[in-house]
A and B are shown apart, each in its own frame.
Chain A
Amino acid sequence: MVDQHPRHRLDPVIHQPLRFSVMAVLAESEEAEFGFVRDTVQATDSALSKAVSTLEEAGYVDVRKGFVGKYPRTRLRLSRKGRSAFDEHVAILQSIAGTTSRHG
């Protein structure tokens, strides 16, 4: 029996480039402001909102809305499920990068 290629185990919710970037930022953070994530991943507000909604629906990202003084602030963080899914996704990517590069 032939082993299934690791790409089949990649999470399609995370694999989309913008969503992967968002999760990568949040994976390094306890919590990050929407604006910080937007600037870091170089996305528009609407593109990031859409990406965050998808990740939130998947249960990967928690969204917290609040205020600092008069100004609204949206803060994002990875859920436990999201962190675990991201770690697994990264491990699969590493195996693809490593395995394929070794075998050409």
Chain B
Amino acid sequence: MDHDLSAAEAAETLSMRHNARASVAAASAHYAIWSVGMATASSLYVFALGLLPADRVQPIVATTVAFVAWVALPTVWLIPTVKVSPLGFSKQFGLATGAWGAVFGIAVAFGLAFELGPWFLWPMAAAVAVPLLVGAHLQLRDADRG
């Protein structure tokens, strides 16, 4: 450095860092919105499976098609809008979606294979939403700190 850097200049430079943090946090809110959309869709799907007669395939297929279409919408929206991944995001998002996949898989596989009905599927409908909602909450909390 050729000149004496004043405290004010150093503080001004450091303020750019805070602005950057805020911008990254704001841009990463998309993940939280996607997570809430997925949590709602999968929860309603599992709840709907509990309403359907387990011995009739057609309503189950129709509900599954509707679910897949609903899930495709937020996912197709998310991919092109992802411009930045905040620090620590991959681990947090991976854990949330991994836990969601496990609970969702158990709910659907056991619910349909063993025709377990509402007593199993309705509590599972609530459980399915938890990992993604927790993930979204953590994401938004981190964004707030930005």
Contact = CB atoms under 8 A, between A and B. Distances in A.
Contacts, number: 86
A90 B84 CA distance: 22
Contacts of B89: 30
B126 interface: no
B113 interface: no
B83 A25 contact: no
A97 B10 contact: yes
A47 to B, nearest CB: 15
Contact of B86 (A24, A30, A98): A30
B38 to A, nearest CB: 20
Interface string A1-38: 00001011010100101001100110111111101100
Interface in A26-77: 27-33, 35-36, 40-41, 68-69
**What bracket does the count of chain B residues touching chain A fall in?**
20 to 34
Query: What is the size category of the interface that chain A forms with chain B?
Result: 20 to 34
B24 A5 contact: no
Contacts of A17: 13, 16
Contact of B87 (A21, A30, A99): A30
A contact face: mostly helix, strand, loop, or mixed? helix
Nearest to A30: B85
B61 interface: no
A98 B6 CA distance: 10
A27 B17 contact: yes
Contacts of A15: 1, 13
B84 A36 contact: yes
Interface of A: 5, 7-8, 10, 12, 15, 17, 20-21, 24-25, 27-33, 35-36, 40-41, 68-69, 90, 93-94, 96-101
24 contacts: A10-B5, A15-B1, A24-B16, A24-B20, A25-B23, A27-B87, A28-B20, A28-B24, A28-B87, A28-B146, A29-B24, A30-B85, A32-B24, A32-B84, A32-B85, A33-B83, A36-B27, A40-B23, A68-B79, A96-B5, A97-B14, A99-B7, A100-B7, A101-B11
